[in-house]
Structures are given as structure tokens and as C-alpha cells.
Amino acid sequence: MLRVDHPRLTAAVVSLGAGLLVLATGPALDVVKRADRAVFGFLSGKSGELVGNGSVEDPWGVETLGPPPAIEPPRVFYLDDNPDQYFERMPPPPSDLMVVMARLEAAGLDHVGFGYPLQWESPDTLAIETMRRAMDRFDRAVIGYVVKDSTAPEPVVPPFLRASMPYGEVDGDGTKLPVVNSIRGIAPEFGGKESWAGFTRIETEEGEANRAYLLARWSDRVVFSLPLALEIARLGLSPEEDVRVRMGKDIRLGSDGPRIPIDFRGRVDLPDGPIEREAVPATTVISDEIPEGFLDADAPVFFTDERLLGDKADRQWAERMPRVDAAVRGAPRTVGKSAVSRPSQMAELFGILGLSLIGASLLGKGGLLKRLGLSVVLIGLVAGALAICIRSGVAPMPLAFLTVPVATAFSVLLFDTESRVEVVRAKAAKKAPAEPKAAKKAKRRKGKRRP
């Protein structure tokens, strides 16, 4: 063991410094934040339902999730083989699509998703511009694309850029997300200035029957699937500010929106199908035969391509879409949240100071076993007091206050805790000169009696 002249003072200084270091680095240092979250979760008993970042402005809180809500089935306008020739050709060209968008907007629809690619050969420029303006009259029009990982990468296109979040904002290991960098097809239509985009499928990833990708990485952005992007738009959320992705855990939409469970690759488990949907031909928009109440439900509205002469993959996505939508909108939601506020910084500073002095005073006496026992008791008492504070709704930074008794125990066990008097005596004994041999012999002769 190391020998010091002031073991108690040393223990107090070490524990105080450790506590203040943790308190200062808190939410700013990711490893400290994660450790503080783990300690808070352990003491609160609900580590999987925590919100906040542990700072004074946004303290840790406990979130209560409710059961999945009952949801309205999605509304679908599907493209058929157009027997009545309502459209100029199939799929509808920009001039027809502009009329469809204008009529839906007039009927009160404010969000719509296109589940098939908007691509035409040599489209009319004026019709394209008019269609884009019609899209921008919606709160949000979301266009679906097939994306892939190409050998000729492209920059993130504008509609995907608007409907995405920075990759650096992902919590956890995002390296397993599928990588994409281009859109399948030639000259895809990107919609208006406010249009968003979501992928319908990832061409370079093998599909699975009971799971679907909700996320993919494109350059330094994370892009969303079409059902997820449309739900974000319907909830009026900002992808960068209101969407939180925790890899291997969930996608959180807003403060009280769905908490969609995902795996380490951004996939969601799909409910057992088939899932109900409300579907009518897209021609009903032109013929004014949309069923009453069809657009009034609290449900997303999609356009799908289900023509027998169309792309088989687009038909398969249309069949699968209700299950993906149900997994997104039918996820559990927050029904209650209780934040545990932190006291003032001055109160936390004095608390750490007092705890370090108390700990050094209590653990500075006795043998090794006694000090070990007192260390365990002190750590347990501090943890119990923190747990009570958390349940009361006001608690200091748990990791900082628990660090103090741990550092104190480490210090008193590392350093020799003999009193300073004993240390001085030991030093004095060591420095005292040895008695000469001649003096020793003279003393012995002096002590002998003469006959």
C-alpha cells in the first residue's frame, strides 16, 4: 500500500475531484451520459422507458407506454387497367395527375403518398410544372421510390433530403443500416418544392416476408420508408427535430407519437396479415364517385399501381403496404411521462463536497475488513437515498453522487490509513543513528560487579 501523511484528506480530495469531474462532463460526454442513464434507470427500475438527456434543462424522466391503439385502415386509390379510359394513358401522365391532385385538395385532403414511381418518357414541361404546383398546395405530398446501392452514387435528392435526419443523430450503432445512394429508373420526378420522399423497397436488399426496412443510410442522411415518412408528415413533425432513432430499440415520433420497435438493421416486425384496407379505383376521383367519408378518416391515403400490365414489384408492395402501415401506426404510444428535475448546480456542488468529507471521515479508521464493510454500507446508503429522491421527483445527477463514495472507498483501501503520528514515529525511528559498539561494551563493563 502507499503511505501518505494525510490519508483522510487525500481520500476527500480524490472523491471530491471524481464527483466534480463527472458532474462537469455530464450530458456533454456521451460515455458519461450513457453511464448516468444506466444508473438512473437502475435506481428508477425502468431503464427501458427513459426520456431526456440528464441535463438541468432536459433531465431524465420515466415514460409510460400504453397498448397499441386501434387504427383506421389506410385509404388506397389504386391504378387498374383503366377500362373506362378516364386517363389519357396509364400510369396517368402529369396533366391527369394534376387534375387528380387538385380535386383531392379541394375535397379536403392535405397529405398523400404515391406508392409507385412518377416517371414518364418525354413529359410535357408545362404539365409537369402545373402538377408540381398542385402538389405544393398539399401540406405534404410524399413520393415513393425504389432505391439501391449503386456503383455510380448520387447525392441525396431534394425530396429525400427534406424527409430525412442526420446520420450523426442516430443513437447507437448505425453501421448495420442498409446503404443506398441512388434511385432506380431514369429521370424520376421529384415533385414540388415542398414534396417529400420515402422508399418503397431497397432493390439491393433481399426482402423478408415478416419484416420490412423502415430506415436506410444515404450518404450522411438517414432516409425513411414511404409509410413512415407519410406518418411523420401526417403528425406534423420535423424529421430532424422530432424523430429519434435508437438502433436496436425503437423509432420515436414526437413526444407522444408511436414508439416503433426496430432491430439493429432498422427493420420492423410486421403483424400477421392480411391487414384490412379501404381501396377504390383512382378513376373515382375523376368520376366524382369517391365514397362518402372515405377521405375523412384518421388514416393515410396512398396511390398504388395494381395493374396486371404494371410492374410486378409495385403490385407486391401494394399488397404488403397495409402491414407496414399497421406496424408504424399501430405501435405503442406514450400515455404518461414524469420528469425527475435536478436541483440547482450550487446545491449539487455542496452535496458532493459534504458527501466526500463524510465519506473520508467514516472510512478513514479501522482495519481492512472494517473499511470494506463501511464502504459497501456507504455506497448502499447513497444509492438508496438517490432512489428515494428519484421517486420523489427531484434528484441530483445519480452518477456524480454515486461516484463520490466509490472513489472514497477506493482511496482509503489504496492508501495506508495509519495516523500521521504513527507515520512520524516510524520516520523518526528510521532516521535515529545507531549506538556505537564501543559505548555498548563500556555499558556492559560498567554493569559488572567487581569481587
Residue 317 lies in a domain: yes
Do 227 and 326 share a structural domain?
Answer: yes
Question: Helix/strand/coil (H, E, C) string of the chain?
Answer: CEECCCHHHHHHHHHHHHHHHHHHHHHHCHHHHHHHHHHHHHHHCCHHHEECCCCCCCCCEEEEECCCCCCCCCEEEEECCCCCCCCCCCCCCHHHHHHHHHHHHHCCCCEEEECCCCCCCCCCHHHHHHHHHHHHCCCEEEEEEEEECCCCCCCCCHHHHHCEEEHHHCECCCCCCCECCEECCCCCCCCCCCCEEEEEEECCCCCCCCEEECEEEECCEEEEEHHHHHHHHHCCCCCCCCEEEECCCEEEECCCCEEEECCCCCEEECCCCCCCCEEEECHHHHCCCCCCCCCCCCCCEEEEECCCCCCHHHHHHHHHHHHHHHHHHCCCEEEEEEECECCCHHHHHHHHHHHHHHHHHHCCCCCHHHHHHHHHHHHHHHHHHHHHHHHHCECCCHHHHHHHHHHHHHHHHHEECCCHHHHHHHHHHHHCCCCCHHHHHHHHHHHCCCC
Q: For 143-168, what is the mean pLDDT? A: 92
Do 424 and 352 share a structural domain?
Answer: yes
Do 359 and 417 share a structural domain?
Answer: yes
Residue 443 lies in a domain: no
Domain boundary among 297, 332, 367: 332
Q: For 65-76, what is the mean pLDDT? A: 86
Do 319 and 355 share a structural domain?
Answer: no
Do 344 and 201 share a structural domain?
Answer: no
Residue 323 lies in a domain: yes
Do 291 and 164 share a structural domain?
Answer: yes
Residue 438 lies in a domain: no
Domain count of the chain? Answer: 2
Domain boundary among 284, 307, 332: 332
Domain boundary among 276, 308, 332: 332
Residue 23 lies in a domain: yes
Do 363 and 224 share a structural domain?
Answer: no
pLDDT tens sequence across 339-352: 888 888 888 889 88
Residue 436 lies in a domain: no
Do 386 and 278 share a structural domain?
Answer: no
pLDDT tens sequence across 156-191: 999 999 999 999 999 889 999 999 999 988 778 898
Domain that holds residue 171: 75-332
pLDDT tens sequence across 404-442: 888 887 776 666 544 444 544 555 555 555 555 555 555
Do 111 and 10 share a structural domain?
Answer: no
Do 348 and 247 share a structural domain?
Answer: no
Do 258 and 155 share a structural domain?
Answer: yes
pLDDT tens sequence across 254-268: 888 899 999 999 999
Q: What is the pLDDT of residue 6?
A: 64
Residue 435 lies in a domain: no
Residue 293 lies in a domain: yes
Do 369 and 328 share a structural domain?
Answer: no
